[in-house]
Chain A
Amino acid sequence: MGSVAMHDTVSRRTVMKSIGAAGAVGLAGCSADGGGSENTISMGILMGVTGGLSEVGPAIRDAAELAVKQVQDADNGFSVDTQFENTETKPSRGVSGAEALINGGYPMICGGLASSVTLQVAENVAIPNQAVMCSPSATSPDVASLEDNDFVYRTPPTDKLQGSLLAQIAAERREKESAAILFLNNAYGNGLSNGFTKTFESEYGGEVLNQVSYSAGRSSYTSQLQNALDGDPETLVIIGYPESGTKIFRNFYENFNRADMDILVPDGLRADDLPGNVGHDMTNVRGTNPSSAGPGIEYFRSAYEEEYGSAPGPFNQQSFDAAAVLMLARAAAGEDDGTAIRDQMRAVTDSGGEAVGPENLGAGVSLAADGNEINYQGVSGPVEFDENGDLASAVYNYFRYTANGTENIEQVEV
Chain B
Amino acid sequence: MAARDYYSRGQNIVYNRPVLVVFAVIGVFLVFDIFRQLGTGTITATDLVSYLWNGLVLGMSLGLAGVGLSMTYSILNFANFAHGDLITSGAFAGWATAFLIAGLGDFSVEALVLIGGPIAVGSNELGINVVNTPLALLAGLLVAAVLTAALSLLLDRIVFKPMRSADGVTLMIASVGVALFLRNFLTFSFLTDSRGLTGGNVPQFTLGGVTFGGHQITLVLVAALLMLATHVLLQYTKIGTAMRAMAANKDLAKVTGIPTERVVKLTWGIGGGLTGCAGFLIALQQGTLTVTMGWDLLLLVFAAVILGGVGSIYGAMVGGVILGIASRLALVWIPASFLLAAAFVLMIVMLLVRPSGLFSGRTTA
Contact = CB atoms under 8 A, between A and B. Distances in A.
Contact of A218 (B211, B282, B296): B296
A312 B123 CA distance: 24
A214 interface: yes
A277 B335 contact: no
A220 B194 CA distance: 14
B169 interface: no
B198 interface: yes
A250 B335 contact: no
A254 B213 contact: yes
B58 interface: yes
Given A227-B335, A255-B211, A247 B54 contact: no
| Count class of interface residues, chain B | 35 or more
B120 interface: yes
A219 interface: yes
B102 to A, nearest CB: 13
B337 A214 contact: yes
A276 B124 contact: yes
B246 to A, nearest CB: 19
B328 A223 contact: yes
B194 A55 contact: yes
A247 B54 CA distance: 15
B288 A250 contact: yes
Interface in B92-123: 116, 120-123
Contacts of A213: 337
B213 A255 contact: yes
Contacts of B123: 276-279
Interface string A262-293: 00000000000101111110000000000000
B58 A279 contact: no
A214 B338 CA distance: 9
A247 B288 contact: yes
Contact of A227 (B287, B292, B297, B336): B336
Interface in B1-56: 54
Contacts of B356: none
Contacts of B340: 218
B192 interface: yes
B137 to A, nearest CB: 15
A275 B122 CA distance: 8
B196 interface: yes
A324 B194 CA distance: 31
Contact of A242 (B122, B187, B194): B194
Interface in B228-279: none
Contact of A223 (B54, B286, B288): B54
A220 B54 contact: yes
Interface in A140-177: none
Contact of A219 (B191, B195, B296): B296
B202 interface: yes
A257 B263 CA distance: 50
B297 A50 contact: no
B192 A279 contact: no
A246 B288 contact: yes
A279 B193 contact: no
A404 B122 contact: yes
B199 interface: yes
Which has the most chain A C-beta neighbours within 10 Å: B122, B286, B292, B337?
B337
Interface in B274-305: 282, 286-288, 290, 292, 296-297
| Count class of interface residues, chain A | 35 or more
B204 interface: yes
Given A220-B286, A226-B331, A279 B337 contact: no
Contacts, number: 96
B339 interface: yes
Which has the most chain B C-beta neighbours within 10 Å: A218, A273, A275?
A273
Interface in B337-355: 337, 339-340
B152 interface: no
A275 B199 CA distance: 11
Given A217-B296, A223-B331, A250 B192 contact: no
A180 to B, nearest CB: 12
Contact of A54 (B54, B192, B198, B296): B192
A254 B335 contact: no
Contact of B120 (A222, A244, A247, A273): A273
A185 B336 CA distance: 13
Contacts of A278: 123, 196
Given A217-B296, A247-B286, A276 B336 contact: no
Contacts of A277: 116, 123, 194-196, 288
A224 interface: yes
Contact of A243 (B121, B194, B200): B194
Contacts of A51: 192
B201 to A, nearest CB: 10
Contacts of A297: none
B61 interface: yes
Contacts of B213: 254-255
A279 B287 CA distance: 9
Contacts of A55: 192-194
Interface in B192-235: 192-196, 198-200, 202, 204, 211, 213
Contact of A276 (B196, B328, B335): B196
A50 B187 contact: yes
Given A223-B336, A277-B196, 6 more contacts: A214-B336, A243-B194, A246-B194, A275-B124, A278-B196, A279-B200
Interface of A: 8, 50-51, 54-55, 185, 212-215, 217-220, 222-224, 226-227, 242-244, 246-247, 250, 254-255, 273, 275-280, 404
- Pairs A-B, 9 closest by C-beta atoms: A54-B192, A277-B196, A276-B122, A217-B296, A279-B199, A223-B336, A279-B123, A224-B336, A227-B336
16 contacts: A8-B162, A55-B194, A185-B337, A212-B335, A212-B336, A219-B297, A223-B54, A223-B336, A246-B194, A246-B196, A246-B288, A276-B116, A276-B196, A277-B194, A277-B195, A278-B123
